[in-house]
Amino acid sequence: MNKWRNLAILTAGVTMLAACTNNPYTGESEAGKSGIYGGIGAVTGAVIGAATSSKKDRGKGALIGAAVGGAAGGGYGYYVDKQEAQLRQRLVGTGVQVQRNGDQLTLIMPGNITFATNSSDISSSFYPTLNSLVTVFKEFDKSGINIVGHTDSTGSLALNQNLSNARAQSVASYLSSNGVAGNRISAYGAGPNQPIASNATEQGRAQNRRVEITLQQMQ
pLDDT computed for residue 219 by the predictor: 78
Q: What is the mean pLDDT of residues 102-123?
A: 96
For the chain, the structural domain boundaries read 2-87, 94-217
pLDDT computed for residue 95 by the predictor: 96
pLDDT computed for residue 89 by the predictor: 97
Give me the DSSP letters along the chain.
Answer: -HHHHHHHHHHHHHHHHHH-EE-TTT--EE--HHHHHHHHHHHHHHHHHHHTS-GGGHHHHHHHHHHHHHHHHHHHHHHHHHHHHHHHHHTTTSS-EEEEETTEEEEEEEHHHHB-TT--SBPGGGHHHHHHHHHHHHHSTTEEEEEEEE--S-S-HHHHHHHHHHHHHHHHHHHHHTT--GGGEEEEE-TTSS-SS-TTSHHHHHHHSEEEEEEEE--
Non-local CB neighbours of 198 within 8 Å, separated by 6+ positions = 204
Q: What is the mean pLDDT of residues 102-110?
A: 97
CA distances from residue 212 to 4, 34, 119, 186 in whole angstroms, order as listed:
50, 24, 17, 12
Residue 81 has pLDDT above 60, yes or no: yes
Whether the CB-CB separation of 215 and 145 falls below 8 Å is answered with yes
Which of the two residues, 117 and 17, has the higher pLDDT score? 117
CATH among 3.90.1310.10, 3.30.1330.60, 2.40.30.30, 3.90.79.10 for 94-217: 3.30.1330.60
pLDDT computed for residue 19 by the predictor: 46
Q: What is the mean pLDDT of residues 77-83?
A: 96
- Which pLDDT tens digit goes with each residue over 4-46? 455 445 445 544 544 454 443 334 344 454 555 455 454 445 4
What's the whole-model pTM score?
0.70
- Which pLDDT tens digit goes with each residue over 147-190? 999 999 999 999 999 999 999 999 999 999 999 999 999 999 99
